[in-house]
Structure 1
């Protein structure tokens, strides 16, 4: 996993302090994501690690989580793996009763931004308070709150 994250960091210029691939947790993922209401998943293709991504609490006071370190190996991109991982992470976040999901990314990650937009993320004008990834230049937020209309049927 750490190789995929670190290679993507190099590929897109996300290197150094303020970028997810440089976080200390990259070398200790299983320890970091054992926290309550957090999780990290790996996508396998024919037994090979193809991608990874996770959810961690960002601000418990406002019910926000962060979609973290969602990366797909260059060899496996374009196969829907990133979307499947993102959907799995968002489903987990909803099950954990988070109200909103934040992410930071780079403007150079055009395919990722397109994916996030298609999943209902909206761009923010500045980073979310509490995020440690200040090297990102694109910030997005998605509401996870249930739509009240879904609880009713037409008569």
Structure 2
């Protein structure tokens, strides 16, 4: 566990499943990212995030504030692309933004992914998440012309990659 500006950053547990799922649904609704349009909020694993990231080559962190889950993010193997991981499920409630938490989770993800032997980190997002796109660009992710792997999403028009 790590404290940042009163927030606690820690590895996801099974008890966090409903809290992080609610954060993802709330933030998705805020930006109009609905399940019927093919965004991550439609993932069948949304209510069991712990199981998704409790596997070899994956990790997920939640952000907690005063006992409530208020954000999170992590990475997992990118299906169909050996040696490439995917930054996934980076969602933060409004009160969580601007404290460097997303930057910290990306840094943790890239560091651990490199230790796991990944050579590149991929991500998909959408233009309406301008702050996220800007952060990824500042952290060295480069825009791609076409998606990689088999993410199961088709609505994210911004695809980016970073060499580890």
| TM-score normalised over the length of structure 1 | 0.86
Aligned residues: 144
C-alpha deviation, 1:129, in angstroms = 2.9
Residue equivalent to 1:107: 127
Q: CA-atom RMSD, angstroms?
A: 1.5
Cα-to-partner distance string for 1:101-153 (whole Å, 9 max, x where unaligned): 10000100000001001111000111113221211010000001xxxxxxxxx
Task: Decide whether the 8 Å contact of 2:79 with 2:151 is kept in 1.
Answer: no
Unaligned stretches of 5+ residues in structure 2: 1-19
Structure 1 residues 92 and 60, CA, compared in 2 at 3 Å: closer, same or farther? farther
Q: Does the aligned pair in 1 maintain the 2:27–2:91 contact within 8 Å?
A: yes
Aligned to 2:150: 130
- SS state of the match for residue 104, structure 1? strand
Instruction: Structure 1: give runs of 5+ residues left out of the alignment.
Output: 145-155
Decide which of 11, 26, 48 is 1:28's aligned counterpart: 48
Q: Deviation of residue 59 (structure 1)?
A: 4.2
* Matches of 2:92 and 2:105, distance apart in 1: 9
Give the Å deviation of 1:5: 0.6
The 3-state SS of whatever aligns with 2:45 is helix
Task: Give, in angstroms, the shift of residue 45 of structure 1.
Answer: 3.0
Match of 1:15 among 30, 34, 37: 34
